[in-house]
Amino acid sequence: MAATVLDGNRISAEIRAEVAEEVKSLAQAGIRPGLAVVLVGHNPASEIYVRQKVKACEELGIHSEKLTPAETISTERLLELVQELNQRDEIDGILVQLPLPAQVDSKRVLMAVDPAKDVDGFHPMNVGFLSTQRPGLVPCTPAGMMEILRRSGIPISGQEAVVAGRSDIVGKPVAMLLLNANATVTVCHSKTRDLAGVCRRADILVAAIGRAGMITGDFVKPGATVIDVGMNKVTEPGEFKRLFAGNAKREETFRSKGSVLVGDVHPEVAQVAGALTPVPGGVGPLTIAMLMSNTVRAAKLRRASRMAELSRV
């Protein structure tokens, strides 16, 4: 029996509707959340992502600004730009779209973002808040994955969770979120001995390794929930055949476009898992929904702390 498909588009729409309501209630208090997106140069993929983020802001009533400095910008000038945004009161969230050009020190730039406006949740202060269960801003993709589990009625507390991948952006924060939700968590990676055996212990398996179709059926315990974070473009006919041989719909796409998208999970896993996020249409839509949610959360946290300060004066 094929796995239940966990519909990221539906859950994303739910979250966006909730955020729109929060924006309306903040408006009654004279507050409009604001997001500034910094897009350096002309990376086509980044331009698409930024367009989607700005569009989502428009739809939900969030003020947004897109800043597009030249590809040749220096680290120092970009740091000045971030500092200007840090000081602007109407901006609650700052997002520096990655990747940045080679001459820019990305780590310095990300560290310069005020943690209270760090809607990506990458700043070490927010990482620390997450690990100590204090209120802060959580990376968007991991936060979205937790929403998929919760809103799909999948139990987390007491479950064995395995996270395949240890990136600072996905693997580590989702492991911490699962741990905070009382799962027993194992983080594994390319150096893990018997990777398939470790993954097979999981009631909840998160695939965030970044390799097309690496998680095959023998990595998955029958009935497990599999969250596929991967987004890989397959262009080689041999690789396509390994993943999609006999899939007429995908074959038609591959013939017409010369490529298909696939996650880190092999399609055969659908015959083993109990529930599975598709690619596309699984985790992806949640990332922008949670960015919108984080922007509203940042506005609330910032205003709350400022109101508390005023009340003490």
Q: Is residue 120 flagged as an active site residue?
A: yes
CATH number, residue 103 = 3.40.50.10860
- Is the same domain home to 262 and 224? yes
Q: Are residues 73 and 167 in the same domain?
A: no
Which structure tokens are listed for 127?
């990482």
Domain count of the fold of the chain: 2
pLDDT tens column, 40-55: 988 888 899 999 999 9
Q: Does a structural domain hold residue 297? A: no
| Alpha carbon distance 173, 166 (integer Å) | 9
* 85 and 170 fall within a common domain: no
- Phi and psi angles of residue 135, each rounded to the nearest 5 degrees, phi first: -65, 130
| pTM of the shown model | 0.92
CATH number at 226 reads 3.40.50.720
198 domain residue, yes or no:
yes
Asked if residue 207 and residue 172 are part of one domain, the reply reads yes
Does the residue 67 lie in any domain? Answer: yes
Q: 92, 97, 114, 228: which is the annotated catalytic residue?
A: 97
For 95-150, the pLDDT digits (tens) are: 999 999 999 999 999 999 999 999 999 999 999 999 999 999 999 999 999 999 99
* Tens digit of each residue's pLDDT (9 = 90 or more) over 188-213: 998 999 999 999 999 999 999 999 99
Domain-embedded: residue 40: yes
Pair 233, 144 in one domain: yes
pLDDT at 308: 57
Q: Which of 92, 114, 118, 120 is catalytic?
A: 120
For residue range 261-276, list pLDDT tens digits in order. 999 999 999 999 999 9
Q: Is 52 a catalytic residue?
A: no
Is 275 part of a structural domain of the chain?
Answer: yes
Instruction: For residue 155, tell me if it sits in a domain.
Output: yes
Active site residue 55: no
Per residue in 157-181, pLDDT (tens digit) is: 999 999 999 999 999 999 999 999 9
17 domain residue, yes or no: no
Range of the domain at 54: 29-115
